[in-house]
Amino acid sequence: MDNLIIPATDFTPSVNFQIQSGHLELSGVSRPEDVAGFYEGPLEWLSKLEESIQNKPEYKYEIPELRFSFKMRYFNSGSSKYMIQMLRTLRNLTKFGVDVNIDWYFEEGDDKMQDDGEDLAEAVELNFNYIEV
Amino acid sequence: MSGRLNSTSTSVLHYKGKFTFERIGILLNDLKNKRETYQIDPVQYKKLLTLMIEILENVLKYSDHFEVFVLDHPDFQPEFELILNDDGFILTSRNPVKERDKNEITRRIDKINTSDEDELKKIYRDTITNGIFTEKGGAGLGFIEMAKITTNNIVYSFKPIDKGFSYFEITLHINHLDEEDHG
């Protein structure tokens, strides 16, 4: 699998999915004009990863740990639907024995961003690590 | 347009006309530029920004009514206003919606307005997990976000126009921060 790198714009987050290190990161602002179009790439990448591990279980040993860092400054409600889809795929990976860690960053005093993380974590039934920066 | 309405109420932002993705960007930038003038606290600014995005994107969902209806009914153009008063900020949007959308909007907002914080979290989880998302929207997630941020009811009304359209108005109140909330 290739890495997935999408630079940030004023309206879309940067995507940096590194397959070798297992470090995946989404950061910045997310209120794309075409939200479905923007998240198509990251969702496809994650589905491909899930498919690879499903079809070839030993592939998981090539990924020591999957760490997804959400470093969002803001995301609109339209984006959250796609974020939950990404999280669902990550949750599915745990069923194949992949060690998945979700780091949810929020700026000091940004209670709303922390709450948003907690709501998503509850909705998808995954534990997040909350990191105040 | 901005200016003092009376001794305790100031129009911070006002726009009436066609809503586009670019127009939302301009209005958000206007808010950024007015942060200093109105000494908006960083925590309050972030809340206002989020509310503005949700309320403006909600108007944008109905922008296809502009050519088919609004051009013939200029009194009912989409509109947004942000007002500052002694209690906090008031965000108001107005836009034509079709009668057939009215019941669903009413159902969603009424459900939110009659829910406490825990119930709101449950509605959010249920909506994001099982919600029926259409091309137009996020199954009501925007309204949930508005209620979560303001912690006040979403005030709304529909004023019948004609040709199966109503003028839909949403008003959000966000109180000034308590001392301990300042960023």
Out of B25, B47, B129, name the one closest to residue A123 (CB).
Answer: B129
Mean of per-residue pLDDT scores for chain B: 87
Predicted pLDDT of residue B137: 53
Taking all residues of chain A, what is their mean pLDDT, rounded to a whole number?
92
pLDDT at B1 (0 to 100): 44
Question: Residues A10-62: pLDDT tens digits?
Answer: 999 999 999 989 999 999 999 999 999 999 999 999 999 999 988 887 777 77
Retrieve residue B7's tokens: 């001794």
CB contact under 8 A, A110 and B46: yes
Q: Which domain holds residue A110?
A: 42-132
Nearest to A76 by CA among B17, B21, B96, B111: B21
**Unique residue bearing structure tokens 């301990």:** B180
Q: Which one of B63, B125, B179, B182 would you mutate to disrupt binding with A, by most A Cβ within 10 Å of its Cβ?
A: B125
The residues with which B51 forms a beta bridge, in sequence order, are: none
Arithmetic mean of pLDDT, B171-183: 78
Structural domains in chain A (count) = 1
For B154, the domain range is 3-181
Query: In this structure, is residue A6 part of a structural domain?
Result: no
Instruction: Please report which residue ranges of A25-109 form alpha helices under DSSP H.
Output: 35-55, 77-95
Question: What is the C-alpha to C-alpha distance for residues A18 and A34, in angstroms, rounded to an integer?
Answer: 24
In this prediction, residue B67 carries a pLDDT of 75
Can you tell me the distance from the alpha carbon of A84 to that of A40, in angstroms, rounded to the nearest whole number?
13
Whether residue A91 is contained in a domain is answered as yes
Do A74 and B21 lie within an 8 Å CB cutoff?
no
Mutate to test the interface with A, among B26, B128, B143, B178 (most CBs of A within 10 A): B128
Q: What is the pLDDT of residues B77-108, one digit of tens each?
A: 999 999 999 999 999 999 999 888 899 899 99
The share of chain B scoring above pLDDT 90, in percent, equals 61
Lowest-confidence range among A2-11, A62-71, B51-60? A62-71
Report chain B residues whose CB lies below 8 A from the CB of A123. Answer: 124-125, 128-129
How many domains does chain B divide into?
1
Residue A23 lies in a domain: no
Q: Identify the CATH number of the domain in which residue B14 sits.
A: 3.30.565.10
- % residues pLDDT > 90 (chain A): 74
